[in-house]
């Protein structure tokens, strides 16, 4: 395993997790519900790679993000990455 792979599989620390939670606050309640459920389930095991995938998703507009969560769209362009796909599949897991 390369150093990059090991680093990306490392868990994020509490400070990084706190910053990520703040970054994930959205203006659309539906998105917040998906994101809060994600953190409730995976916060204690979130890796650097997953955190990066989530950060990329948070660059989207609320409507585009909701379309991805609801499977109305699939990632395209710069979002066609393994870390984004992994996080998106975790975010889409039913309640």
Which residues lie closer than 8 Å to 42 by C-beta, 6 or more apart? 50, 90
Residues paired with 11 in a beta bridge: 47
> How does the average pLDDT of the chain come out, rounded?
91
pTM for this structure? 0.86
Mean pLDDT, to the nearest integer, of 1-22? 77
Measured CA to CA, the distance from residue 53 to residue 61 in angstroms comes to 15
Mean pLDDT, to the nearest integer, of 24-43? 95
- More confident call, 67 vs 1: 67
Residue 5: CB atoms within 10 A of its CB come to 10
What does residue 84 show for φ and ψ, rounded to 5 degrees? Answer: -70, -45
Is pLDDT at 1 greater than 90 in this prediction? no
pLDDT value, residue 4: 44
């Amino acid at each position: 395993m390369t150093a990059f792979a090991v680093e990306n599989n490392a868990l994020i620390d509490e400070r990084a997790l706190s910053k990520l939670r703040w970054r994930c606050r959205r203006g659309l309640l539906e998105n917040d519900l998906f994101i809060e459920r994600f953190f409730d389930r995976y916060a204690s095991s979130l890796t650097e790679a997953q955190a990066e995938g989530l950060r990329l998703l948070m660059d989207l507009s609320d409507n585009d993000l909701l379309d991805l969560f609801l499977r109305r769209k699939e990632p395209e362009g710069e979002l066609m990455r393994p870390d984004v796909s992994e996080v998106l599949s975790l975010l889409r897991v039913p309640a």
